[in-house]
Amino acid sequence: MAQALAPSLQTSGNGPHLSRIVAGMWRMNEWNMTAQQRLAFIEECLALGVSSFDHADIYGSYGVEQLFGEALALKPELRQRIQLVSKCGIKLLSERRPAHSIQHYDTSPAHILASVENSLRALQTDHLDLLLIHRPDPLMDYDEVARTFERLRQDGKVRHFGVSNFSRHQFEMLHRRIALATNQIEFSPLHVAPLFDETLDGLHDKGIAPMVWSPLGGGRLFSASDAQSERLRLVIKDIADQLQRPFASIVFAWIMQHPSRPIPLTGSGRIEAVQVAVEATQFSLSRAQWFEILRAARGHEVA
């Protein structure tokens, strides 16, 4: 049977169309792929309907965007078929950034503009489809960031903007100044706080789809031996057996079933892992099954 394609989803009324599953590039430098193999992976993702690729300037100690750009340069016409997401605002200690003396946040206009120029150069593209502020910065001037975003839009270098790891209040402070397309957050059966701290409620209220990083708990759902992880693993496996679906597909489906329409990221260089995520777009859990996973996640009944 032919593999179904992942659908696309507009993150908000004026946001970008992203594929329903986004390929996360965080660990690409660990995949030990040649440029040709990286290109093949991009094309395999596209064949599954996964057209959006998530980056950050700091990934791979400032090296992943260049690896992706080298692959894209082998077939530049693919740029018209993909959406490139990147983030900025963290300064890492790295051999590639010898001027950095302490790891810290920087959301100053100068740093945002310089980060975008570096990302465009590394990715070998003339624009980003979506730029996110990577983490909330205690020294962030929301008015300055909004003006910087508007400048980047006017210059044609970034088409849409968002944030990552922001609270509901922080998101809404910036959203009042410039329209944001998404908040990329951690959410999984091992991290259910966004269900109860108004993060997902706030985005749902505004019709904005969150992006979700670490949907499988960074792999802990498969391997961790603590009581919560083992309890979850048994419940998810039982539902997977009932539905005759892969274990990870159940988790991705659980995440996407929230009415805010979360868009999960994969984190693997194995195309089989991307296929399993895409499969989750083809079915839904029953309400009882969804709450079985939530109960296992929290360790108690809802009431």
What mean pLDDT is reported for the chain? Answer: 96
Confidence (pLDDT) at 13: 87
Distance between CA atoms of 11 and 28, rounded to whole angstroms?
25
User: Degrees (nearest 5) of the Cα angle 296, 297, 299?
Assistant: 60
pLDDT of 78 > 80? The answer is yes
* pTM more than 0.95: yes
Which of 83, 52, 21, 28 shows the shortest CA–CA distance to 270?
Answer: 28
Domains of the chain from N-terminus onward: 16-172 (3.20.20.100), 182-303 (3.20.20.100)
Distance between CA atoms of 283 and 278, rounded to whole angstroms?
10
Distance between CA atoms of 61 and 42, rounded to whole angstroms?
21
pLDDT of 231 > 90? The answer is yes
Instruction: Give the up-direction half-sphere exposure of residue 260: CA atoms within 13 A in the CB hemisphere.
Output: 26
Distance between CA atoms of 93 and 121, rounded to whole angstroms?
21
Segment 13-35 shows an average pLDDT of 96
Give 1's pLDDT tier (boundaries 50, 70, 90): very low
pLDDT of 201 > 70? The answer is yes
Query: What single letter denotes the amino acid at residue 241?
Result: D
Number of H helices, E strands in the chain: 12, 12
CB atoms within 10 A of CB 216: 23
CB 7 within 8 A of CB 280: no
Which of 29, 28, 65, 66 shows the shortest CA–CA distance to 45?
Answer: 28
Confidence (pLDDT) at 3: 63
Which residues have C-beta within 8 Å of that of residue 175, sequence separation ≥ 6? 206
How many angstroms from the chain centroid is the CA of residue 187? 11
105 an active-site residue?
no
List the structure tokens of 61: 């100690």
